[in-house]
Structure 1
């Protein structure tokens, strides 16, 4: 079923760059949602913990439960608490959801600074603190999210300013209700937009995995891809001139050509839109249509690297590396290679 190979050296390299950028590893929270962007949440959690990272971010409680033993705190972005856990905190995304939390749950108030996706409006901050306190919640942080930190525009600046301008007010309200807050807005792109990190924590997602892409006008950190995808050969044949391969025969050999089928298909996350148009980093062409569980390449190698950086494969199908990584089959074998 193919193999995902992970480079510990690349992961540590990326963590070193991030730690230097933000002022220390104690500020890093590794984003492990959606199986650590397809890399394998437990494997990445263990390696990040060994490096010295003490904070993590996930989407769901079940994801938090998988990796909580490696960290001091796990922030859960997309689920209202069903339990009170001393190491769990939850992104509080609206005033309405406050009453649905169990008393004593730890939350981090999300402010909508311009993403307009979730979070409370800045003018609702006093009401939010009053309602959190009245319901017996423990607020440990205030957070937001950049919508365009990877592009050259004014948006990063005004979102940053909107968030920073609320810190004094939030600190005053926190003191009133007996809370102690941490502040964070920076995602992977955001942390590289300034030489000074004013956040208490940064949420390192795609940069951690080495697939951050910034506008060409912005600083691009020299990150390394952690993940490469490999297929094992199922069968080899000589495709005669004029013969076609795969469903609907969309590739026709112009001359006799060695073709091998490998054990990866769209069920494993190999996007079908790459059919008959993708070329691997080693110059090996994908021939014909990708099937559910297999794909054919102009190769006879026993093991074939499909991609070494998800961004390259993403460009072939008109999407982003995030999507390619997040759609990788959780059942694929994952292993550290160096």
Structure 2
């Protein structure tokens, strides 16, 4: 079903910005390092397939996704690069991943036991990246004994498993306090010491680590949020300029003049302070524009306009400086006449992070792509 094509509420994705961000990161890499583009969650809301294509053109050597379906979507679209599923999955999916040459994250010994039998029966070999829990507390092995057990098991079944990589994930690589990051890095290196024959990929660096901790090691970078031009920590300068790829725009669907004291929206939470021009914009919390955005500002003709009344499911109202024509553009994220609203501004107002803002944009918000 095609949705959103007849509603001018759009996320405009600048694929050239994504390419520039990747190319600038690649310039910082050591010769032996590869960049994998993290395109999970529909490329952080930017669109899986167009972003993956742009990333590959920019020099990405592989992809990281969160779930098997994302990897299958890339395969079905013709991508033959290595695809690592960062999340763990039940053993029943091992054969499917092997058949589609999807690299599997393993963080549980029982998975290997069950998967080995299924892979043997199907005559398939599975590419494996071992996850180590060094302090994230999410997935992965925590001790040398566990890791040795896993390595021995895979060595005993070379027809079913290929040890292709090992990794961990930092919980606070974007923090100005490096204490916990360094603890995790030390733990990772301690666990790594039990491996006699290193796999093809050893990786620890997410966007934050790749930007601010270039000496963390590894020969693969998992380039995520920074690829989309968003700073993992807006309080710390990045070593090169990040170019935001996403703008969010809509239009004025209705414009009316209200008199002083008139109420706007559900619950009558706003009353006009004077005679005012009110514009209705076709975007709401069902599109991912959060209900809590009441009181925030958007741009119309370069003017900051306050969101008045509660954000509805499909619409919201804004206070205009004057009467504007219907279909006048409204910019929720992006630049307009020299002024700007960033995804970070939206996140700060919503008391969240910009990851959640872009990932939360609903499918009915049309994605439009531009590239030279």
TM-score by length of 1: 0.91
Choose which of 156, 168, 186 in structure 2 pairs with 1:161.
Answer: 186
| Secondary structure in 2 matching 1:323 | helix
120 and 9 in structure 1: CA distance in 2 versus 1, 3 angstrom threshold: same
SS of equivalent to 1:166 = helix
Residue 164 of structure 2: which of 134, 140, 156 is its match? 140
Equivalent residue for 2:220?
A: 201
Instruction: Return the alpha-carbon distance in structure 1 between the equivalents of residues 271 and 264 of structure 2.
Output: 7
Q: Does 1:131 align with 2:153?
A: yes
How far the C-alpha of 1:182 sits from its partner, in A, is 1.0
Are 2:132 and 2:141, in contact at CA under 8 Å, matched by a contact in 1?
A: yes
> Equivalences for 1:218-257 in 2 at 5 Å?
219=238, 221-257=240-276
User: Of the candidates 79, 84, 108, which is equivalent to residue 129 of structure 2?
Assistant: 108
Paired position in structure 2 for 1:177: none
CA RMSD of aligned residues (A): 2.1
Please point out which of 45, 56, 64 is paired with 1:49.
56
> CA offsets, 1:299-332, max 9 Å, x none?
4462211112322111111111111111111232
Measured in 2, the distance between the counterparts of 1:303 and 1:100 equals 56
Q: Which residue pairs with 1:19 in the alignment?
A: 26
Tell me the alpha carbon deviations over residues 57-76 of structure 1, each in whole angstroms, 9 at most, x when there is no partner.
Answer: 11111111112333510001
Match of 1:324 in 2: 357
Structure 1: unaligned runs, 5 residues or longer? 175-179
Q: 1:71 to 1:288 in 2, by over 3 A?
A: farther
The aligned residue for residue 88 of structure 1 is 102
Q: Which residue of 1 aligns with 2:17?
A: 10
- Distance in 1, matches of 2:31 and 2:358, equals 27
Contact 2:13–2:368 (Cα < 8 Å) also in 1: yes
Contact 1:23-1:197 at 8 Å conserved across structures: no
Moved more, 280-289 or 245-254: 280-289
CA contact (8 A) 1:274 1:316 kept: yes
Cα pair 2:33 2:219 within 8 Å, conserved: no
- Residue 330 of structure 2, aligned match among 304, 315, 320: 304
Conserved 8 A contact 2:105-2:131:
yes
Shift of 1:215: 6.6
Aligned-residue offset at 1:194: 2.8
In structure 1, how many angstroms separate the alpha carbons of the residues matched to 2:194 and 2:100?
A: 27
Give the Cα separation in 1 of the matches to 2:99 and 2:351.
Answer: 41
Q: Distance in 2 between matches of 1:87 and 1:316?
A: 43
Output the CA distance in 1 between the equivalents of 2:283 and 2:19.
Answer: 28
Give the aligned partner of residue 280 of structure 1: 298
Q: Distance in 2 between matches of 1:212 and 1:280?
A: 21
| 2:253 alignment partner, SS class | strand
CA pair 87-197 structure 1, distance change in 2 beyond 3 A: farther
Deviation for aligned residue 1:52: 2.4
Residue equivalent to 1:337 = 370
Structure-2 separation of matches of 1:19 and 1:197: 16
Query: Conserved in 2, the CA contact under 8 Å of 1:233 and 1:303?
Result: yes
Deviates more, 1:90-99 or 1:216-225: 216-225
Rounded Cα–Cα distance in structure 1 between residues aligned with 2:32 and 2:99 = 24
